[in-house]
Amino acid sequence: MISGRVSPAAWLACLASVMLGAASIVFTVLNGYSFEATLNEAPLIEVAFTFPVVGAVIASHHPRNAVGWIFLLVGFTQGLILFTFLYAEHAYLIDPGSLPSAHLAAWLSSWMWLPGFGSALTFLPLLFPTGRPPSRRWRPVAWLSGMCLGVLVLVVATGSWSLTGKQLLGEVEVAGFAPLLLLLLACGLASAASLVARFRASRREERQQLKWFVLAVCGLVVLFVLDGLQIPVGAGNALAVILIPCIPAAVGVGMLRYRLYDIDRIINRTLVYGALTASRRPLLRGRRCIAGGRWRAHWELTPCGCGHDACGGRLVPSGPRPRPNPHRPEIQPQHLRRAKNGGGLLGAAP
C-alpha cells in the first residue's frame, strides 16, 4: 500500500525535474548561448535528467529508503536553479520586462542549490544503502547536518531577498555564509567517515553495495581534481557530461542489486583495459621500427644444417651471442637429434 501511494509522487517529482531541464534547454536557445556557453550549463541539465530518474526508480522499489528521495531532491533543485537563473537572465538582460516574476526567479536561483547539495554531501553517504545511519552513535551527525543545512538555507534565503534582480544574477555575499559552509563540509567529512564504519561492519551484499557507491564517488573526485588542475573549460565540461550519468547509474545498480557482484570484475577489466591502452603506443612504435628496417641490420640468415634443399636457413642475431649455461643443455630440433643419434631420438638406443 505504501509503495502504491508513494510511486506516483516519486514519478511526478521526476517529471517536474525533467521538464525543468527541458525548459532550461529552451532558454539557452532564447538567450543566444553559444556552443561553449551551452556546454558550460550541460552538467546541470544532465543532473536534472539523470538523477531524478534513478531516484524515482529507487523510491518506487524502496519507498522507506531516503536515498531515492535524496536523488529526487538533487535533480529537482539543480534543474530549478538553472531554469530560474536563465529565466531571470532573459527577463533582466536579454528582453527586459518581457517575463513576469523575474525577481522571484532570481531569488530562487541564489539559494535553491543548497538543499540538494547539502543533502548529497551529508545525508547520502550517511544513509546509504539502508536509509539509516550505521549505528546510533552516528545519529548526532545526522542531526547536526540537518540543523546546519537548515540554518544555512535560512541565512542565504533571507539575506538575498533584499537584493535586486540584477545583483542576484552575480555572486551573492551573505554574512555568516562562510562559517556555516565550513561546518557543513565538516559534517560531510564525518558522513564520509561513517562509510568506513559501515563497510567494516557489513557483510557481503551490503559491502558490494558500498563498492558501487565508492565507484560513483570516485567519479565526483575526478571532476573536482580536474577542476582544481585548471584544465580547459570545454574539456572539463565534456568530461563532466561523460562522468555525471555514471554516478546515478552506479548508485542505482547498488540499490536495486542488479548484477551486484560484478563490481570487482568491472574494476579489474577497467584497470586491464587502461593498461593495455596505455601500452598501445609503445607497441605500435616498435612495430613501425621493425617495418622500417631499423632492426633488420641486427639479424642475418644462416644455413641451419638440416640438409634439405627447400630449407632457406634461419635468422640468427648478428651480434655477440650470450654465453650458454653449462647447467642447462641446449635444446636441438627433433630432426637434428635423430641425425646425431643414428636416426633415433635423443637418449634412445641405437
Furthest-apart CA atoms within the chain: distance in Å:
110
Mean pLDDT of all residues in the chain? 78
pLDDT at 64 exceeding the cut of 70? yes
> What is the pLDDT at residue 277?
61
pLDDT band with cut points at 50, 70 and 90 for residue 223: confident
Measured distance CA(130)–CA(134) in Å, rounded: 9
Q: What are phi and psi of 348, to 5 degrees?
A: -85, 160
> What is the pLDDT at residue 292?
47
Residue carrying C-alpha cell 536495486: 256
pLDDT at 288 exceeding the cut of 70? no
What is the per-residue pLDDT across 128-146, written as a single tens digit (0 to 9) for each? 888 899 989 999 999 999 9
What is the per-residue pLDDT across 169-222, written as a single tens digit (0 to 9) for each? 877 778 888 899 999 999 999 999 999 999 888 887 888 888 888 887 887 777
Query: What secondary structure letter does DSSP report for 245?
Result: T
What is the per-residue pLDDT across 141-169, written as a single tens digit (0 to 9) for each? 999 999 999 999 999 999 888 887 777 78
What is the per-residue pLDDT across 9-31, written as a single tens digit (0 to 9) for each? 899 999 999 999 999 999 999 99
Cβ–Cβ contacts within 10 Å for residue 52, how many?
31
Find the Cα–Cα–Cα–Cα dihedral 57, 121, 241, 23, rounded to 10°: 70
The share of the chain scoring above pLDDT 90, in percent, equals: 34
> What is the pLDDT at residue 74?
94
The share of the chain scoring above pLDDT 70, in percent, equals: 69
Which is more confident, 277 or 67?
67
Contact between residue 41 and residue 82 where contact means Cβ atoms under 8 Å apart: yes
Buried b (16+ CB within 10 A) or exposed e, 103-119: bebbbbbbbbbbbbbbb
pLDDT at 35 exceeding the cut of 90? no
> What is the pLDDT at residue 230?
66
Measured distance CA(50)–CA(14) in Å, rounded: 9
Whether this model's pTM surpasses 0.85: no
> What is the pLDDT at residue 123?
93
Query: What secondary structure letter does DSSP report for 121?
Result: I
> What is the pLDDT at residue 274?
56
What is the per-residue pLDDT across 94-136, written as a single tens digit (0 to 9) for each? 888 888 988 899 999 989 999 999 999 999 999 988 889 998 9
> What is the pLDDT at residue 34?
87
Contact between residue 76 and residue 20 where contact means Cβ atoms under 8 Å apart: yes
- Domain ranges for the chain, please list them: 2-273
Give which of 52, 51, 65 is closest to 2, Cα–Cα.
Answer: 65
Mean predicted confidence (pLDDT) in 255-279: 59
Which is more confident, 223 or 80?
80
Residue carrying C-alpha cell 635444446: 331
Find the Cα–Cα–Cα–Cα dihedral 150, 151, 153, 158, rounded to 10°: 140
pLDDT at 252 exceeding the cut of 70? yes
> What is the pLDDT at residue 318?
57
> What is the pLDDT at residue 129?
86
Q: Which helix (H) or strand (E) holds 261?
A: none
> What is the pLDDT at residue 188?
92
Which is more confident, 56 or 271?
56
Mean predicted confidence (pLDDT) in 41-63: 90
> What is the pLDDT at residue 26?
94
